Structure 1
Amino acid sequence: MTSTVLADPLDPTAIQASVDAVLNRFLTAKARPHAGAHQRYMAALLQDFLVGGKRIRPLLCVTGFHAAGGQANTTEVIQLAASLELFQAFVLIHDDVMDASDTRRGRPSVHRVLDQEFRRMRTDCDDRTAQRFGTAGAILLGDLALTWSDELLHAAAVHGTRRTAVLDHLDRMRTEVMIGQYLDLRATGDKHTSVEDTLTVIRYKTAKYTVERPLQLGAALAGADTPVLEACSAIGIPLGEAFQLRDDLLGVFGDPAQTGKSCLDDLREGKSTTLLALALADADPAQAARLRALVGDPRLDLEGAEEVRDIFTATGARATVEQMITDRYRQALVALDTAPFTPAAAQALSALARQVVRRTS
């Protein structure tokens, strides 16, 4: 594996470029002629899917590594960070299947791509057959991304107690995100979910998976002690909650040209978000009845979505979620002020935190 030494080891652009280079080398190798046409096709699908990702988890992983005193030669941590992005591909591909989402990053989701590809190959197939192929094929491609994320991780030269620590945090992260996905799936369409229940989903599905564990994985690779790992949690949980709360707002109020997803998907699916729970708790009977009629309606149109947005605003739910984001952002910064991190990593993490809570996509 090619050595990676960054002039500025915490420069986000350089980290993203290094992670992308590792992913491209890995997937290009998987698409070599001797691999066979089908493997080449699936590797190309994954390469295409990875284009445009924000690389939040790799950035946090590398930042955690330097927070714990990791050195400038980042070959191993870049490989670890790249493996997280392949795992994220697995999560997103399956998530789009579960949510029946047509788009991801402004392009057709994988199961839609495969559906259309099957129609081109089998011009006499019916809709149901093509859709089943698209769904099943996307599940398999997600499984392949998971398998290859392991392969990329194990190619990193990490040994002894540090390897044990990394794998321990990785195992926890994977279990937590699966539980979070399950809880999210179970709550979808439930108009009686409490705010606390929605925050439990956020904690497992996003806060731990997106921020806490990537920080800890990088830190563990650098041989972090308990205070550093605990600081990763103290910062990561509130920051990860803020990330998901912002995501929930963008799913309803965001500009699809920037988010890459329709502003109808979450509402049509009946996503049980903190935003919805707050609105239902504070709505008058007429508003509550309209929310229950509109949210979860697979035929919801733009006019109906605008009515939902108006109710979210009128009940104060939107403003409350904005305040929750601000409160969690401040909590993370307070924890960062006392964290036993290197000064450069603390500064980089502060900038990343600001990016996470103020993003528009």
Structure 2
Amino acid sequence: MSASSPRDKFLALFPKLSQELLAYLRAESMPAEAISWFERNLQHNTPGGKLNRGLSVVDTVDILLCTDEQGNKVKQLTEQQWEDAAILGWCIELLQAYFLVADDMMDASLTRRGQPCWYRVPGVGNIAINDAFMLEAAIYHLLKLHFRDRPYYGHLLELFHEVTFQTELGQLVDLITAPEDDVDLNRFSLKKHHLIVVYKTAFYSFYLPVALAMRMVGINDESLYKRALDILLPLGEYFQVQDDYLDCYGAPEVIGKVGTDIQDNKCSWNINIALENASPEQRAELDKHYGQRNSDSEAKVKAVFSAKNIDVEGRFKKYEKESHERLTELIKELPQNVGAGEKGIGLKREVFTSFLEKVYKRTK
């Protein structure tokens, strides 16, 4: 298969998987309008994002199977190995689509990836609830179709079920901590923020791609999954703190959106840093203006963020430096190719350094 980039090659597989899913509906004698609707659901919600999570499965399998002890590329994935990894990657993208369709309804969001949120497409409305369920169910149909005869099939099912539950727990804590129509900064804390971002983001965005790749290549030592988790969860937390920071301080033309966390009453890292360091007067200002849907209140919150005693920007730079140092040390502590069995396939440091390099000091 020739394509101009790894992303293009990955994208080129999606029509085949879509047709497999639609073939199931046809085999069940679903009416033409239902088949057409599901196809629109798949196309609108699945392939339009950055695809980082899905591509990370392919990248991780490539590192585990095709690099030597020094991290040098020594061979290429076979087409079957690449396709297996890419299918698992698309299953994560379907999981992401399921979360986003539901999340947009819960948050009453207007746009997603530069187009109307699915529930806001004319004629969709609350049918989007069922459409979200169908995106999730599609994962398990594809897993059954492609991996049922593999020895690690049960582990794949377990990973998707467990990580889905963990992500939904994170969403629950987020929703009850920071409802948009009930601003109460007493609910916020850095501890609560940590819980939300680890469960809502880190498990499915960082741990799941690596764990799926490890299962696919035959790494069975359970202690290695714990070691991977110990690196990937703090890495995912660092990524989300970056996201929170960029929402407030990133250039809209670079990050591709205008930040709305302040007006949306988000339990972000920025507000929690401000709450920890605010004077009584500054706290009163935050209580009055945070979560208010107007630009004047947003400007007043940002002014508090910039105060000398709070200095969200300066504290983020310090946090970023310390996070990079801590993550680098955690990766160094991992022996190279640890757990390699008779086939010589173990867990390699490059899996984690490649993740860290992608996110360190990112601007979007």
* TM-score normalised by structure 1 residue count: 0.81
Question: In percent, how many aligned pairs have the same letter?
Answer: 25
More helix by share: 1
- Match in the other structure for 1:146: 136
1:23-70: CA deviation from partner (whole Å, max 9, x where unpaired): 222225556896613431342243133344122222332334345447
2:112 corresponds to which of 104, 108, 130? 104
1:158-217: CA deviation from partner (whole Å, max 9, x where unpaired): 545412222222222111101011111111044122211211111111112210122112
- Match in the other structure for 1:128: none
- Match in the other structure for 1:177: 167
Contact 1:103 1:261 in 2 (8 A): no
- Match in the other structure for 1:121: none
State whether structure 2 residue 319 is matched by structure 1 residue 324: yes
1:249 corresponds to which of 245, 250, 265? 245
- Match in the other structure for 2:283: 288
* TM-score normalised by structure 2 residue count: 0.80
- Match in the other structure for 1:210: 205
Contact 2:64 2:346 in 1 (8 A): no
| Distance (Å, rounded) in 2 between the aligned partners of 1:62 and 1:231 | 20
Contact 1:67 1:219 in 2 (8 A): no
More relative contact order, 1 or 2 (CA 8 Å, 6+ apart): 1
Contact 1:61 1:219 in 2 (8 A): no
Contact 2:63 2:351 in 1 (8 A): no
What residue ranges of structure 2 are gaps of 5+ in the alignment?
A: 67-75, 338-344
Contact 2:152 2:216 in 1 (8 A): yes
Matched letter for residue 283 of structure 1: A
Task: Compare 65-74 and 159-168 and name the one that shifted more.
Answer: 65-74
| Distance (Å, rounded) in 1 between the aligned partners of 2:240 and 2:116 | 23
| Distance (Å, rounded) in 2 between the aligned partners of 1:20 and 1:180 | 29
| Structure 1 residues 1-361: aligned runs within 5 Å | 13-14=5-6, 16-28=7-19, 36-69=32-65, 72-73=77-78, 74=81, 75-113=83-121, 117-118=122-123, 134=125, 136-159=126-149, 161-188=151-178, 189-192=183-186, 193-224=188-219, 225-264=221-260, 266-297=261-292, 299-301=293-295, 303-314=296-307, 315-339=310-334, 340-341=336-337, 346-347=349-350, 349-361=352-364
Contact 2:21 2:142 in 1 (8 A): no
- Match in the other structure for 2:72: none
| Distance (Å, rounded) in 2 between the aligned partners of 1:352 and 1:142 | 29
How many residue pairs were aligned? 331
RMSD: 2.9
User: Counterpart of 1:269 in 2: which secondary structure?
Assistant: coil
Matched letter for residue 352 of structure 1: F
| C-alpha distance 153-50 of structure 1, shift in aligned 2 (>3 A) | same
Task: Compare 209-218 and 176-185 and name the one that shifted more.
Answer: 209-218
| Distance (Å, rounded) in 2 between the aligned partners of 1:184 and 1:318 | 24
